[in-house]
Every structure is written in C-alpha cells, then in structure tokens.
Amino acid sequence: MTNAGALVDSHGRTLRDLRISLTDRCNFRCLYCLPETEAAQNFYRGHWAHLPNSTPIVQQWVEKSLILTFEELERVVRLAVGLGIQKIRLTGGEPLLRHGLEDLVARIAKIPGVEDLAMTTNGFLFAQKARALREAGLRRVSFSLDSLDRDNFKKITGRDGLNELLESIRLAQELGFSPVKVNAVIIREINDHEIESLVEFAREHNLSFRFIEFMPLDSARAWQKEMVMTGAEILRRIRARFELRPIAPDNPSSTSKRWGFADGRGEIGVIAPVSEPFCGHCNRLRLTADGKIRTCLFSVAEHDLRSRLRNGASDADLTGWLREVAWLKEARHHIGEPEFVPPPRSMSCIGG
C-alpha cells in the first residue's frame, strides 16, 4: 500500500484507525455522556449554577432501519482496509446491546489486513458473550471503570453494575484478551478522590489503566472547563504515591502518555485531549451506527456513507469518496476556545 492509495488528509496525516459504533443505545446513563438520572441533575444544579446558555440534546434513538447491517459494516471494513486502515475498534453506545455481535466480529476478523480488532464496553453484559467473542477473533477489550465505590459508581453511571464490571475484567484476563485496558473519566468533585485507589487496582490486577479528561460530549450540555481535572493534575497525584517509569509510545499516533510501575505489574496512562491536545498525530476516522463518517470526535459536520451504500455505489465510487472525506479531516479541535462549538450529537451517538 503506497500513500497514493491510502487515506491521507490535507494536513499530511495518514489514517490507520477506524472506530465503528454499532448502536447509539446504552444501558448506562453516565454523567459525561447521557446524564439523565436524578443524581446527575442534582450534581449539575448543586455545583454549576452558571451553566452555558445552550439547549440540551434531546436523546432520540436512531430508527433500527437506519442502523448499518453487518453486511454493510463488513463491506465498509474491507474497503477501509484496502485504503490502509489497520485498526478496527467496535464501540457504541454499548456494543454488547447489538444482537449477534460475535458474528460481526468473526466477519471482520477474517478480513486480510485487519491487524488489530478491539472493542470498548461498559462490561455489564460482557460475561454473557466473552467466550464467543474471543473465539470469533476479538483480540482486545477496553472497559469503562470510573469508580470502585458501589454508591459512587451508581451515581456516575446510573446503574448498580460495579460487581458485573469487575467480574468482566477478571474474565477478560482469564480468557487471554491482551492487553485488558480500563478507562476512567475523571470529573472534579465526582471521582477525583478515587484516583489513587484506581491506580492501586491497576497495579494489583496487572491492568493497562487510562485516566481520561472530562470532554464536552454530554447530552446535558453541562460541561465546563472548571469541571476538568487536567492530565497534569492527575499525574501529580499519582506520582506523589507511586514510583513510575515512563514507557515509550508504541506508535506516534498514541493518544496516551504511559508509565509503568516499579514492580513491573500493570501500567497507567493519561489521555488529556482538553489540556494537551494530540490532534497533530490523530489518525482516526469514526463511523456512527447510522452510517455517518466523522473525521474528528468533535466534528460539527458528518458525511453520509449510508445513502451511498444503499443507493448502489460501486466499491470504486465508495473508495474515491472515502479519500475525499479523509482529505477534509480537521486540523484540530477547539475545546475551551471562544469559537468552540460542541458536536450536535452526544458521545453515545458519535461512538467512543
């Protein structure tokens, strides 16, 4: 594959990573995504009296007829791999809500050129499908774990699901998924007091743990920069208690800065898109569940792939169109700047 046939944007970046949302539906209601619970509303009312004058996103699930089929998704992946895409990550919403997920995994795993096939999940339903997914060819899995305290976990996610998630993490390691990654979104005054205990959990269980800054992707439009605990703050807290050794990035497009522990068990990473943007090396495209290509997580525009798939476009037509879309990829996001405009859809609809 030469660069002439690859997905290259106007800023010289070659795109290798495709994130595919399988559904916009989710069985959690997390503060940073779909904050519809009473606990979420009480938090925002009690802590952030001066919220921005923006209209909350009214969550309306996409009609099932508009969701891409497995056959359509398989075709898209084949075409994308032919254009140099190497990594596929299945996301949502919650991907495990998609019936027959293991069949899709098997289809994608058999496509020559897919070097990395992973999934991001909240873990609540993972145990039911874990063995089938592993046998189908899923290689890596990332879980969301924002609290180790049952009550706080429920407040953050809207679901009493901590025990199920912890069992899913254990089972993933038992079945040989590697590495097993765990993500925590840190929100000031919500779970920042748990940073050290989450790090200890990572070390004890030999996990790759990622701390992520709170981003403006919630449907309540309640995000404010003051709510963000920066990556630098998080790292200072961790270093005050744990001896860390830096780990060199495994590729220039890595979103996290990584450190290992002195005893060699597990690692932690910090993903800081708000305070330390890494846009200059971004090599990702996103495909929403209803068939729209997004060139940035914070894009305000989407590109309609579904209509082309369903209106008889040839493979050559689609690959040419994908190259045109990739060329339009934004230079960077503008979070925290006066001109920043949040995307019209929440994280659940965009895909993680």
Q: Does the pLDDT at position 49 exceed 50?
A: no
Among 182-186, 279-283, 341-345, the range with the most confident prediction by mean pLDDT is 182-186
pTM of the model: 0.89
> Confidence band (pLDDT; 50, 70, 90) for 297?
confident
Q: What percent of the chain lies above the pLDDT cut of 70? A: 82
pLDDT of residue 250: 77
Catalogue the E-assigned strands of the chain: 17-21, 87-91, 116-121, 140-144, 180-186, 208-213, 244-247, 257-261, 267-271, 284-287, 292-294, 303-304
The whole-number pLDDT of residue 344 equals 65
What is the Rg, in whole angstroms, of the alpha carbon atoms belonging to the chain?
A: 20
Across 27-60, b (16+ Cβ under 10 Å) vs e yields bbbbbbbbbebebbeebbeeeeeeeeeeeebebe
Higher pLDDT, 324 or 224: 324
Least-confidence region, from 34-43, 169-178, 317-326: 34-43
Nearest to 32 by CA among 231, 289, 219: 219
Residue 47's pLDDT band, with cuts at 50, 70 and 90, is low
Q: Cis omega (within 30 of 0) on the bond before 113?
A: no
CB atoms within 10 A of CB 326: 22
pLDDT of residue 275: 78
Task: Tell me what pLDDT residue 116 has.
Answer: 97
Nearest CA-CA partner of 195 in 149, 159, 155, 151: 149
Q: Classify 202 as helix, strand or coil.
A: helix
Q: Which residues pair with 208 in a beta bridge?
A: 181, 267
Taking only the tens place, the pLDDT of each residue in 216-253 is 655 555 667 778 899 999 999 999 999 999 998 877 66
pLDDT value at residue 350 = 75
- Domain 3-350: assigned CATH number: 3.20.20.70
Instruction: Tell me the per-residue pLDDT of 123-162, one tens digit each, with 9 for 90 and over.
Output: 999 999 999 999 999 999 999 999 999 999 999 999 999 9
Of 27-41, 184-198, 238-252, 289-303, give the lowest mean pLDDT range: 27-41
Displacement of CA 337 from its chain's centroid (Å)? 23
pLDDT at 2: 40
In Å, how far from its chain's centre is CA 100?
A: 21
Q: Any idea where the domains of the chain sit in the sequence? A: 3-350
- Averaged pLDDT of the chain: 87
* Positions of E strands within 169-302: 180-186, 208-213, 244-247, 257-261, 267-271, 284-287, 292-294
Q: Alpha carbon 291 to chain centroid distance? A: 17
Percent of the chain scoring above 90 in pLDDT = 68
Quick one: pLDDT at residue 227? 83
